[in-house]
Structure 1
Amino acid sequence: MRVIASYNIKGGVGKTTTAVNLAWLSSREGRRTLLWDLDSQGAAGYCFRVQGRAHGKRLLRGKSDAADIIRSTSYDGLDLLPADFSYRNVDVLLHDEKQPLNRLQKVLKPLKQDYDIVILDCPPGLSLLSEAVFRAADMLVVPTLPSILSLRTLKMLIDFRKEHAIKDLQLLAFLTMVDRRKKLHNDVIESSLRAQSWMLEAFVPYASEVEQMAERREPVAAYAPHGRAGTAYMALWQEVCKKSGLSPSPQSSRSC
């Protein structure tokens, strides 16, 4: 089972949009996929029309099993572990645990035989929950705006990973909300940043179909697969699979 986190220190960069679309694309290829919404706003659950009950405290303290909370979506092979408003206190809950950084791993461990891919939709910030995500995930997929502040927080994340010697955590960033009409966006795309080993070639454009996702409550790649954003997310997922060593074949994905 591979665990991929859609994460960024900065908010408003498209983490949930990324998580929802990658989870849908994973399941479409035949992988048994679980999307765990870790954000108290519950946006991923909203997009899949799944509402969570107040379970965060019991789940993170080991008093509830994830399997009892997981809900199916309307898409075959795609399940959701929904968030609820109690997740706003998740750092406090983790702080009270003896081994807080291992708590997410313990929740996921019993699910290894049930899923090929787990995708974590993470809230912004650099917190105790973030460090627990770093411990539980195999890879961080980091949506990054082509702006000075967003690139600055990306550097902070890369420096944090290096300083704390988190060697087993693969980090892959990509540019999102790209508007080719803006000089800064074009400058970033054409800069040496794109040549970094941790920067993906695929980027997601600023497109109206992305803004419709919350209204339609379904993945962009599902309702507009041939649009600019839909094809961009497909290219992004293919590159993530390649970088992580995932087979593109649904049949072979059962052995992940």
Structure 2
Amino acid sequence: MKTVALHNLKGGVGKTAAAVNLAYLAAANDVPTLLWDLDPQGASSWYFHGQPQHEKTKNVLHGATPVSRLVTPSPYANLSLIPADFSYRYLDVMLRKVEPPRQALRRLLKPFAGDYALAILDCPPSLSHLADNVFAAADLVLAPVVPTWLSLRALEQVEDYLRDAGFDPSRLRPFYSMADRRRQLHRELIERRPQAMARGLHAVIPYASMVERMGERRAPMAAFAPSDDPALLAYAELWLELKAMLKL
């Protein structure tokens, strides 16, 4: 099973939309997929109509409750969900009490390897002990980046953190998100990518009203958008790049 995290130090950059659409597209392409919503806001869970199982998180972390009890079905074939629980707001504190300190999430994901080919982690925006667990568990960390200098600075901060904390920074793979080509700065940064985007994926997710309608429909884009919609095509390109990198 391959594990992919959607992570960014900044919020509001399209992280959850990417997680939801990638999970759907993977499942629709016959890749058994598990989406784990680690953000206490629970946006990914809400899109997929997921309800938390109300198992005590600390019992799961310490092995007293099987992690499989957290899994719920989604409305779509090949796609399961571990919905967010509001107790996840304390997850960073709880993980610090688990030994070894960075390996709890990797250990919890291990039993799913027999049932799923891909696990996608939708992560809260932070650099924390939870983030350390995510970085230790993920084969790739996808970072959506708005084409602005402030967003690029946040990407560089994450890369520096990975290097300083002993993680492999080459696993961090950014892609442009919420890109508005009507804006000169966005166009310039897309066409002449700065060094921070040297390992960036080619897909560029546009700033589009169709993405916002995911909230209205509570569904991934492919479930309702026209097949030629530019944003949907961009997510499809992102999925194909991810599939090729992970050899799924």
Contact 1:60 1:107 in 2 (8 A): yes
Report the equivalent of 1:36: 36
- The 1:195/1:159 distance shift into structure 2, 3 A limit, reads closer
Matched, 1:72 2:53: no
Cα distance in 2, alignment partners of residues 194 and 212 from structure 1:
33
Q: The residue matched to 1:54 in structure 2 has which SS?
A: coil
Distance 1:2 1:168 in 2: 18
Larger CA deviation: 64-73 vs 80-89: 64-73
Shift of 1:242: 1.8
Alignment match, 1:235:
237
- TM-score between both structures, scaled by the size of structure 1: 0.92
What is the aligned partner in structure 2 of residue 253 from structure 1? none
Letter in structure 2 aligned against 1:226 = D
Structure 1 residue runs of 5 or longer lacking an equivalent are 248-256
Query: Counterpart in 1 of 2:13?
Result: 13
Alpha-carbon distance between aligned partners in 1 of 2:30 and 2:207, rounded to the nearest angstrom: 29
Letter in 2 for 1:234: A
Structure 2 CA distance for aligned equivalents of residues 213 and 43 of structure 1: 11
Change (3 A) 1:240 1:190: same
The CA deviation at 1:197 is 4.1
The answer to whether the 8 Å contact 2:162/2:169 transfers is no
Matched, 1:104 2:102: no
Change (3 A) 1:214 1:57: farther
Greater alpha carbon shift after TM alignment, 14-23 vs 156-165: 156-165
CA contact (8 A) 1:101 1:135 kept: yes
Return structure 1 stretches of 4+ with deviation > 3 angstroms. 194-197
Secondary structure of residue in 1 paired with 2:4:
strand
The residue that corresponds to 1:48 in the other structure is 48
For the residues of structure 2 that align with 1:74 and 1:10, how far apart are their CA atoms?
A: 30
Between the aligned partners of 1:194 and 1:127, the Cα distance in structure 2 is 25
Residue 120 of structure 1 deviates from its aligned partner by 0.2
Distance 1:169 1:190 in 2: 22
> 2-side partners of 1:211 and 1:240: how far apart?
23
Deviation at 1:162, TM superposition (A): 2.2
Q: Hey, what does 2:23 align to over in structure 1?
A: 23
Matched, 1:172 2:139: no
**TM-aligned CA distance change 1:195 to 1:161, over 3 Å:** closer
Q: For residues 61-117 of structure 1, give each alpha carbon's deviation from its aligned partner in whole angstroms, at most 9, with x where no partner exists.
A: 222212112001110000001111000000110112232211101111111101100
Which of 16-25 and 47-56 deviates more? 47-56
Shift of 1:226: 2.3
Tell me: CA distance 1:100–1:165, structure 2 relative to 1, closer, same or farther (3 Å): closer
What do you get for the CA RMSD once the two structures are aligned?
1.6
Q: How does 1:199-214 map to 2 (within 5 A)?
A: 199-214=200-215
Match of 1:181 in 2: 182
> Shift in Å at residue 168 of structure 1?
8.1
* Separation (CA, whole Å) in 1 of partners of 2:39 and 2:197: 30
Q: 1:189 to 1:169 in 2, by over 3 A?
A: closer
Provide the identity percentage.
Answer: 43
Q: Take 2:189 and 2:198, find their aligned partners in 1: how far apart are those partners?
A: 16
Whether the 8 Å CA contact 2:142–2:172 is kept in 1: the answer is: yes
TM superposition score normalised by structure 2: 0.94
Describe the SS at the equivalent of 1:120.
strand
* 1:191 Cα deviation after fit: 1.6
Contact 1:138–1:168 (Cα < 8 Å) also in 2: no
